[in-house]
Amino acid sequence: MLKNLISHFKHSPISTFVAIASGVIVLATYILPLESLRSLILSWVVIASAAALLVGAVNLLSVHINKLSTTTGNSLYSSSLIISMILTFTVAFLPGNVDQWIFRYVQIPVESSLMAVLAVTLTYAAARLLGRRTDIYSIIFVASLILTLISSGGFIGGGFTWLKTMAGAGGRGIIIGVGLGTVTTGLRVLLGSDRPYSG
Amino acid sequence: MNIGTLAFVALFGGLMLGFYIMGQRQEGRNLRDIPAFYRLQGAIELSVEDGSRIHIAIGRSDITSPQGMAAMVGLSMLKRVSTVALESDQPPIASAGNGGLVILAQDTIRGAFNSLNLQGAYDHTLGRATGLTPYSYAAGVMPIILDEDISANIMVGSFGDEAALITSAGERSQTFTLAGADNIPGQAVLFATAHEPLIGEELFAGGAYIGAGLMHVASLHAQDVVRWLIVVILLAAGAFGLLQGFF
């Protein structure tokens, strides 16, 4: 690992140093009385995140302009996105609450429609699950789903409270697993083993 | 952070380094079977052979939040898959719903091109922001899967119930989908809709199974040890509480 770390430092010394040092300093501020330093670093992160958001929007625009120019994929989606993006960006400078109007009467209805599509998709997927993957876990999943739906309808009353307790216990087990994975991934980044930057 | 938390982190770090050193001395990986990753290996090899693309969705978490660690695993997998897939004509496409993740995804793919001395062939549109809200992100990923000759989807990151829209696109285009999320609603949705769902900590095991490095294997072993430690503590606490009731 030390050899890898040295080779990373040789390859891209600045980014590796900045990443590891920032992580170690922020971790240290939780142990030592250095809250102001942590606040300072986190305020830099907020500014960088805002800039990254802008980069994301520009990237989205450039991908779809590129799609239109190379005529691959569905040009209708790309042209709709570009027109909507330019329109929204333009009205943001206009006086009044036109951007709020777009948000309320365009974005929210569109996302609500996607949620409706999602309900159908999930119902279909649950129905197909046993056909696609017939194992004990799928049977338990579908049985739990049916019991939960029945009990939430109020037909049985409190007869299935044990099911909710079991689901809560299982959920906590999964969350513990995810928490452990999160800690190890963070430590790998701190140790320089995982470097999601500069190749 | 109190001393207890620091001791917990130090224990984890010590175990990871210990298993890393032990791993250097022994051959083989001693990992339990997770069939999803073997099928993923097959899907990657198939895509290299038939010249199709692999799509990696790394979700829309903020990298400064705990959910960002799931995206880090996605980036590790992207790095490994890019290196393998660049042997074919079609490099992988990465999608993200967060500006910071897009920059990291592009940097990761560029690194894979650089490592193979293919700097001139790199295209910045291989790392894409498809939308910055959950549903716009999912809606933006769907055309990638349907239109861009994708043969395998890897979804590793933070996803909510919108993930079902992405997996449904995979279903419609009959492509292999391996998916894992770091939260309960996302995992429930992916269990029902993905071909190969990753449950709980399996999400964080990806790097170890696709050969991302010995430290990934060491961190899996460290997780196993700490998990058993937690199980013992929980059981002991339960037994202690029960005994307290008797006396």
Instruction: Among B65, B80, B130, B135, pick the best mutation site for testing chain A contact (most A Cβ within 10 A).
Output: B135
Would you say residue A199 has pLDDT above 60? no
Quickly state the pLDDT bin for A77 (edges 50, 70, 90).
confident
Mean pLDDT confidence for A17-21: 86
Quickly state the pLDDT bin for B211 (edges 50, 70, 90).
confident
Comparing CA positions, the residue from A83, A194, A188, A108 lying closest to residue B9 is A188
Residue A27 tokens read as 């971790």
Q: Which residue has the tokens 């365009």?
A: A106
Average pLDDT, chain B: 89
- Closest chain A residue to B212 measured between Cα atoms? A194
**pTM score of the predicted model:** 0.88
CB B210 within 8 A of CB B82: no
Quickly state the pLDDT bin for B164 (edges 50, 70, 90).
very high
Share of chain B above pLDDT 90, in %: 47
Quickly state the pLDDT bin for B64 (edges 50, 70, 90).
confident
Mean pLDDT confidence for B93-117: 91
Would you say residue B89 has pLDDT above 90? no
Q: How far is B194 from chain A (nearest CA, A)?
A: 9
Considering A128-137, A188-197, B200-209, B231-240, the range whose residues carry the highest mean pLDDT is B231-240
Name chain B contacts of A167, Cβ cutoff 8 Å: none
Q: What is the 3-state secondary structure (H, E, C) of chain B?
A: CCHHHHHHHHHHHHHHHHHHHHHHHCCCCCCCCCHHHHHHHHHHHHHHHHCCEEEEEEECCCCCCCCHHHHHHHHHHHHHHHHHHCCCCCCCEEEECCHHHHHHHHHHHHHHHHHCCCHHHCCHHHEEECCCCHHHHHHHHHHHHHHCCEEEEEEEEECCCCHHHHHHHHHHCCCEEEEEECCHHHHHHHHHHCCEEECHHHHHHHHHHCCCCHHHHHHHHHHHHHHHHHHHHHHHHHHHHHHHHHC
Q: Express each pLDDT in A108-147 by its tens digit.
A: 999 899 989 988 888 888 888 888 888 888 888 888 888 8
Q: Do B100 and A49 touch (CB under 8 A)?
A: yes
Q: Express each pLDDT in B222-231 by its tens digit.
A: 999 999 999 9
Comparing CA positions, the residue from B27, B113, B58, B216 lying closest to residue A4 is B216
Q: Is some CB atom of chain A closer than 8 A to the CB atom of B88? A: no
Q: Do A194 and B128 touch (CB under 8 A)?
A: no
Quickly state the pLDDT bin for A198 (edges 50, 70, 90).
low
Q: Is some CB atom of chain A closer than 8 A to the CB atom of B165? A: yes
At residue A1, the pLDDT reads: 60
- Closest chain A residue to B223 measured between Cα atoms? A180
At residue B225, the pLDDT reads: 93
- CA B35 vs. chain centroid, Å, equals 15
Would you say residue A73 has pLDDT above 60? no
Query: Does residue B141 or residue A153 have the better pLDDT?
Result: B141
Instruction: Among A194, A195, A198, pick the best mutation site for testing chain B contact (most B Cβ within 10 A).
Output: A194
CB B179 within 8 A of CB B197: yes
Query: What is the value of ipTM here, to two decimals?
Result: 0.88
Mean pLDDT confidence for B23-27: 80
From A36-45, A48-57, A150-159, the region with the lowest mean pLDDT: A150-159
